[in-house]
Chains A and B, each alone.
Chain A
């Protein structure tokens, strides 16, 4: 259970949002909306603890995320704009390093399986630098298949992915929600998921449809 109360964030001299409160329980998805520059990424980075909040509190199962520290980060997986994969490592190596740092090492064959499911068959042992943008994204997202974290924070996960991969990722997100997980995501695409499970949050000051 993630509870946010009175959250404010200031970047430089600019107040991006203030007095933001919401909660997210297991089996729910929070879809962040907002125009460019409205603070979606900042909010996500604040929620996973990369940015210190200016005001307000973030609680995970009733305790502040900063006092929980590793007990919180173990439950969270964050995939941001940067994929966080090394160009000189192969997909399998990247995935295994990521999961080992996340605290649940996987075997080589598990890594091969996950990448194959992500549609990277035949590319598993190529250095990531020769992969396309979309394929790199798939390597990064393969973490979701082998992860045990409850809370997924995904910043624009669908960028650079083709239609089939978007559908597949949506199905992964759906099954994570159905298994009682939580997802926070930003995307400018429609999320195909049952409406009762989706919470929407609008950031920013511009009305929808205005540039």
Chain B
């Protein structure tokens, strides 16, 4: 079971390395969206500090959305998904492996890039720390929740738009607690409460999202 998990994560990382364009689109999308705001608003540091948490989190949400489409679609088209469904392994483990690889490729780079981008917003060090921790807890949850939507809309025409409508409302709690954590830290209240909630969301989605996605995949593959 664990070796199947490792194999699938390894395979998807290898595929991502061979197709680096996919890897960088999400990251560059995030970088550009986040960088557009200081350019548009101008060097008004107080305003920038105020909007930074919201901008970062909305950009992370949209970037994660953008990458969702490819999560299962390619496997579905080339038949690898069929073989996953027929593999003598628990399907939720395989789904978890796909999501893990997907997060490592599309989520983790955003987290690592965030402190650098935060400099444009004149964010304080503790706020930057809170941003990184909140993104580290929040983006895996986004990938997990998004996997349900991606599995449900597999093989549908116009699935890309539908998946946004399905998944974005589910992202709202992550957005609220994620940007809340950064705001609370910046205003000196301490973001522990928000971060704990984010952690709870992550644990819940770790438990339920792979099972829900597996069920959705079985239906989509019929």
Contacts and interface: CB of A to CB of B under 8 A. Distances in A.
Contacts of A87: 78
Given A70-B89, A100-B4, A101-B8, A84 B83 contact: yes
B14 A93 contact: yes
Given A85-B78, A88-B15, A76 B86 contact: yes
A89 B79 contact: no
B157 interface: no
Nearest to B4: A101
A70 B90 contact: yes
Contacts of B87: 73, 101-103
A83 interface: yes
A82 interface: yes
A86 B7 CA distance: 14
Interface string B69-107: 000000001111011111111100010000000000000
B121 to A, nearest CB: 38
Contacts of A192: none
Interface residues of B, number: 25
B3 interface: yes
B72 to A, nearest CB: 13
Contacts of A49: 86
A105 interface: yes
Interface string A66-99: 0000110110101011111111110001000110
Given A70-B89, A88-B15, A88-B19, A101 B84 contact: yes
Contacts of A7: none
B107 to A, nearest CB: 21
Contact of B82 (A70, A78, A93, A100): A78
A51 B79 contact: no
A80 B79 contact: yes
A26 to B, nearest CB: 20
Nearest to A97: B11
B78 A50 contact: no
Interface residues of A, number: 30
B44 interface: no
A103 B79 contact: no
Nearest to B18: A88
A127 B14 CA distance: 12
A98 B87 CA distance: 9
A117 interface: no
A98 B83 contact: yes
Contact of A48 (B7, B86, B89): B86
Interface string B7-24: 110010011001100000
Interface in B201-222: 221-222
Contacts of A78: 82-83, 86
Contacts of A74: 88
Nearest to A84: B79
A52 interface: yes
Question: Which of B4, B7, B11, B89 gathers the greatest number of chain A CB atoms within 10 Å?
Answer: B11
Contacts of B89: 70, 101, 103
B181 to A, nearest CB: 38
Contacts of B84: 101
A51 B222 CA distance: 5
A52 B222 contact: yes
Contacts of B83: 78, 84, 98, 101
Contacts of A50: 82, 85-86, 221-222
Interface of A: 48-52, 70-71, 73-74, 76, 78, 80-89, 93, 97-98, 100-103, 105, 127
Interface of B: 3-4, 7-8, 11, 14-15, 18-19, 77-80, 82-90, 94, 221-222
Given A86-B11, A89-B11, 16 more contacts: A50-B222, A73-B88, A74-B88, A78-B86, A82-B77, A84-B83, A85-B79, A86-B80, A87-B78, A89-B18, A93-B14, A101-B4, A101-B7, A101-B89, A101-B94, A105-B7
